[in-house]
């Protein structure tokens, strides 16, 4: 069984930003790896504008039996409370179905954010993608 990849751009228009105008953009790629593990790679900003699309993608993945989802967050340059909520909710749904959601390669900012919110014990974080893919508990 091979893997396949889907790339989704959440803001395909990408307008040229005016000075001091925030342009929110996030790219999500999904690769399926045997056995039954999906890897989402996030790039850009996970915020109120992009969280709904991520929620829809994660929602489909965690509805499978015993879902195993690794979210590579190394390419996130920003994450707000909406983004955190999507990740936490997906992990809860996956756990209910006998699976999990894991974060791979979180930045120092993202680790501190989850620590401040008291979520580091709830949502497993791994130093890199390869470690997150293994059937082992997080090392912290």
pLDDT of res. 67 = 94
pLDDT over threshold 60, residue 58: yes
Task: Decide: 27 and 49 in contact? Cβ < 8 Å.
Answer: no
pLDDT of res. 139 = 47
Integer Cα distance of 41 and 12 in angstroms: 17
Structural domains in the chain, sorted by start: 41-132 (3.30.750.24)
User: For the chain, how big is the Rg over CA atoms in Å?
Assistant: 15
| pTM over the 0.85 mark | no
Average pLDDT over the chain reads: 82
Integer Cα distance of 75 and 41 in angstroms: 8
Give the three-state DSSP class for 6: strand
């Amino acid at each position: 069984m091979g893997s396949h990849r889907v790339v989704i751009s959440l803001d395909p228009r990408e307008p040229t930003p005016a000075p001091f105008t925030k342009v929110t953009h996030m790219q999500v790629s999904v690769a399926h790896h045997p056995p039954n593990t999906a890897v989402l790679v996030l790039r850009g900003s996970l915020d109120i504008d992009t969280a709904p699309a991520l929620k829809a993608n994660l929602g489909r993945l965690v509805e499978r039996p015993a879902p195993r989802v690794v979210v590579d967050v190394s390419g996130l340059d920003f994450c707000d409370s909406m983004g955190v909520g999507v990740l936490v909710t997906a992990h809860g749904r996956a756990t209910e179905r006998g699976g999990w959601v894991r974060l791979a390669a979180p930045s120092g900012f993202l680790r501190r954010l989850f620590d401040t919110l008291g979520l580091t014990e709830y949502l497993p974080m791994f130093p890199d993608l390869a470690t997150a893919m293994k059937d082992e508990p997080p090392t912290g």
